[in-house]
Amino acid sequence: MEGFASKLGFYDHVLEFAFLALRPHMPCLARGLGFAKLVDMAAVVWVKVVGFSDVERHSLNTLFRLSERMLPSYALWTRDAPSPPRVVLMDMDTYEAELELASPSFNPHIKLICVGDRPPSDAWRAFARPVDWPALVQVLDSLFLNQGDVDIDIGLHTEAGKPVPPGVRVSLLVGLLPEERMYLRARLAIAGLTDVDEAQTVAQAMECSQRRRYNLVVLSLDVTDSDPWVLVDALNNLPEPPHAVVVATGAPTWANMERAEQQGCMGLLEIPFNPRQVVSLLQKV
């Protein structure tokens, strides 16, 4: 046991030197500023780790600990985490990997980094053993550092005419109040959905949906210019319908819940928003 502990201590020093040499250009996170709590939440990239030996997991935990004051920072995802994982790091030499890939809850759209033999064809990146952990961090940084995924746009404007880069998921918020939009924008940013359009009316939402293909639409049932359920039908009948349509209401009656299910909505959010309910729905997007 003593030899194992000294081995881990040696790895700690090597990793710390390599990691800090690799990321000297990264700014520390600013604490205590306006919206600092939301920024900190959005700046954390939650990584789900599947498999790996004790030594390898210790190396990962060391890297995550060293990244805490960096931007972006990485953290080990658990079921108690405040948001879903944005990356899965999977040990392909373990039985856990087979179970994870076969699980109905596995998100096929999530970035998958594989270590070991026989990575699946849709893996985003693959590493052989022994793992170059600092190089793996560089790969994560290439994904999250320069793509604006850690920024929170709290503006109330829409840019529904702009093109969507490959791999970017786009959301549309319809008929929500400013504070409701702001909260959802923060939650969406944490989940990696940073490209967000807004519409105040059903008519505006219809116009937006003609110009862009949305992965997620959150629609308030309190819109007043038209029947919101008409918009739900129109969205589902588009040539490229949204991956998920969610309705939100301050009156979550059985009738509303049943109608949402009948019309193919992924779910119904209660206003004021329940964080657990929001996180649970976003994990399905």
- The pLDDT assigned to 243 comes to 93
Could you tell me which CATH number the domain at 170-282 has? Answer: 3.40.50.2300
How far apart, in Å, are the Cα atoms of 66 and each of 17, 77, 246? Answer: 10, 16, 38
Distance of CA 223 to the CA centre of its chain: 28
* Structural fold of domain 2-144: Rossmann fold (3.40.50)
Domain boundaries, the chain: 2-144, 170-282
How far apart, in Å, are the Cα atoms of 279 and each of 61, 141, 148, 186, 249? Answer: 24, 24, 21, 11, 17
Asked, colleague to colleague, whether 2-144 and 170-282 share their fold, the answer is: yes
pLDDT by residue, tens only, the chain of 285 residues: 444 344 444 444 444 444 444 444 443 333 333 334 443 444 678 899 999 988 888 878 877 777 766 667 788 888 888 778 889 999 999 999 999 999 888 888 888 999 988 888 888 888 888 887 777 877 787 777 654 444 434 343 444 555 555 567 899 999 999 888 888 887 887 777 888 899 999 999 999 999 999 999 999 999 989 999 999 999 999 999 999 999 999 989 999 999 999 999 999 999 998 888 988 888 888
Angle CA 246–252–256, to nearest 5: 70
What tokens were used for 119?
């990575």
pTM above 0.85, yes or no: no
- Closest alpha carbon to 40 in 68, 81, 76: 68
Residues 155, 103: Cα–Cα separation, whole Å: 38
Answer yes or no: are the C-beta atoms of 118 and 45 closer than 8 Å: no
